[in-house]
Amino acid sequence: MELITFTDSDGRVGARVAAKLADDFRRHARKAGKRGRSGLPALLPLYEEFATGFALAARGGVLVFC
List pLDDT tens digits, range 5-62.
676 666 788 999 999 999 999 998 888 777 666 666 777 888 889 899 999 999 999 9
The verdict on residue 52 lying in a domain is yes
The pLDDT of residue 46: 86
CB 25 within 8 A of CB 54: yes
Rounded CA-CA distance 55/59 in Å is 7
Spacing of C-alpha 43 from chain mean position: 12
pTM of the predicted model as reported, rounded to 2 decimal places: 0.77
The pLDDT of residue 37: 65
The pLDDT of residue 42: 75
The pLDDT of residue 63: 87
The verdict on residue 7 lying in a domain is no
The verdict on residue 41 lying in a domain is yes
Rounded CA-CA distance 42/33 in Å is 11
The pLDDT of residue 9: 66
Task: For 1-65, list the strands marked E by DSSP.
Answer: 12-14, 62-64
The verdict on residue 54 lying in a domain is yes
The verdict on residue 40 lying in a domain is yes
